[in-house]
Amino acid sequence: MYKIAHDQEEILIRFEKDLVDSGILSKFLSHINLQSMLKKSGKGDAGTRLREQNRLAALPSGIDLLRDPNLNKGSAFTLQERETLGLTGLLPPRVHSLDEQVQRILENLRKQSTDIERYVYLIALQDRNKTLFYRVLLDNIEELMPIVYTPTVGQACLEFGHIFRRPRGVYITARDKGRVAELLGNWPFRDVRVIVVTDGERILGLGDLGADGMGIPVGKLSLYSVCAGIHPSQSLPITLDLGTDNASLLNDPLYIGLQQPRIRGELYDELVEEFILAVQQVFPGCMIQFEDFANRNAFRLLQQYRDQICCFNDDIQGTAAVTVAGILSALRCTGGELKDQRFLFLGAGEAGLGTGGLLVQALVEQGLSEEEARRCCWYVDSKGLIVKSRTDLSEHKQQFAHDHPEIADFKEAVETLRPNAIIGVSGQPKRFTPEILEFMAQINERPIIFSLSNPTSKSECTAEEAYTWTEGRAIFASGSPFPPVRMNGRNLYPAQGNNVYIFPGVGMGVVASGASRVTDEMFLVAAQTVAQEVSETDLSYGRVYPPLPRIREVSLAVAIAVAEVAYKDGLAVTPRPADLKEYIQGLMFEPEYSSYI
pLDDT digits (tens, 9 = 90+) for 178-208: 999 999 999 999 999 999 999 999 998 899 9
The fraction of the chain above a pLDDT of 90, given in percent, is 85
β-bridge partners, 379: 345
Kindly report which listed range (6-10, 66-70, 91-95, 323-327) carries the lowest average pLDDT score.
6-10
Residue 227: CB atoms within 10 Å:
27
pLDDT digits (tens, 9 = 90+) for 529-554: 999 999 999 999 889 999 999 999 99
Does residue 490 have a pLDDT over 70?
yes
Which run of H or of E encompasses 312? strand 311-313
**What's the pLDDT at 49?**
56
d(CA 214, CA 234): 18
Side-chain half-sphere CA neighbours of 385 within 13 A = 23
**CB contact set of 183 (below 8 Å; sequence gap of 6+):** 170, 172, 176, 278
CATH classification (class only), 317-324+337-499: alpha beta
Pairing of strands 421-424, 343-346: parallel
When pLDDT is averaged across residues 5-34 and rounded to a whole number, the result is: 42
d(CA 420, CA 141): 33
CA distances from 491 to 143, 439, 451, 494 (A): 19, 23, 19, 10
CA nearest 425: which of 475, 352, 514? 352
**What's the pLDDT at 342?**
97
When pLDDT is averaged across residues 255-263 and rounded to a whole number, the result is: 96
Cβ atoms 178, 274 nearer than 8 A: yes
- The pLDDT-based confidence of 27 (bands split at 50, 70, 90) is very low
When pLDDT is averaged across residues 365-378 and rounded to a whole number, the result is: 96
When pLDDT is averaged across residues 281-309 and rounded to a whole number, the result is: 96
Does residue 283 have a pLDDT over 80?
yes
Does residue 573 have a pLDDT over 90?
yes
Does residue 22 have a pLDDT over 50?
no
| Positive or negative: CA dihedral 159, 162, 168, 170 | positive
CA nearest 274: which of 169, 179, 171, 175? 179
pLDDT digits (tens, 9 = 90+) for 35-92: 333 333 333 455 555 555 555 567 888 999 999 999 999 999 999 999 999 999 999 9
CA nearest 345: which of 268, 449, 444, 443? 449
Q: How far is CA 118 from the centre of its chain?
A: 20
Does residue 458 have a pLDDT over 50?
yes
**What's the mean per-residue pLDDT of the chain?**
91
d(CA 103, CA 115): 19
| Positive or negative: CA dihedral 161, 165, 170, 175 | positive
Considering 27, 220, 397, 458, which one is annotated as catalytic?
A: 220
- The pLDDT-based confidence of 454 (bands split at 50, 70, 90) is confident
d(CA 248, CA 70): 36
Phi, psi torsion values for 448, nearest 5 degrees:
-95, 115
Cβ atoms 468, 492 nearer than 8 A: no
Type of residue found at 80: Q
Cβ atoms 582, 567 nearer than 8 A: no
pLDDT digits (tens, 9 = 90+) for 586-595: 999 999 999 9
**What's the pLDDT at 525?**
98
d(CA 546, CA 554): 8
When pLDDT is averaged across residues 92-97 and rounded to a whole number, the result is: 98
**What's the pLDDT at 547?**
93
CATH topology of domain 167-309: Rossmann fold (3.40.50)
Phi, psi torsion values for 345, nearest 5 degrees:
-95, 135
Pairing of strands 384-385, 377-381: antiparallel
Does 149 participate in catalysis according to the annotation?
yes
CA nearest 352: which of 436, 427, 447? 427
**What's the pLDDT at 9?**
47
d(CA 105, CA 62): 23
CA distances from 477 to 52, 220, 460, 497 (A): 53, 21, 11, 6
When pLDDT is averaged across residues 547-564 and rounded to a whole number, the result is: 97
- The pLDDT-based confidence of 597 (bands split at 50, 70, 90) is confident
- The pLDDT-based confidence of 28 (bands split at 50, 70, 90) is very low
Please calculate the CA angle 53-56-59 and round it to the nearest 5 degrees. 150
When pLDDT is averaged across residues 132-152 and rounded to a whole number, the result is: 95
Higher pLDDT among residues 488 and 172, named by residue: 172
Type of residue found at 505: G
pLDDT digits (tens, 9 = 90+) for 297-320: 999 999 999 999 999 999 999 999
Instruction: Supply the pTM of this predicted model.
Output: 0.89
Considering 27, 119, 134, 149, which one is annotated as catalytic?
A: 149
Kindly report which listed range (61-65, 134-138, 326-330, 413-417) carries the lowest average pLDDT score.
61-65
Give the helix ranges, DSSP H, for 29-176: 34-39, 45-58, 62-66, 79-84, 98-109, 115-128, 130-139, 141-148, 152-158, 160-163
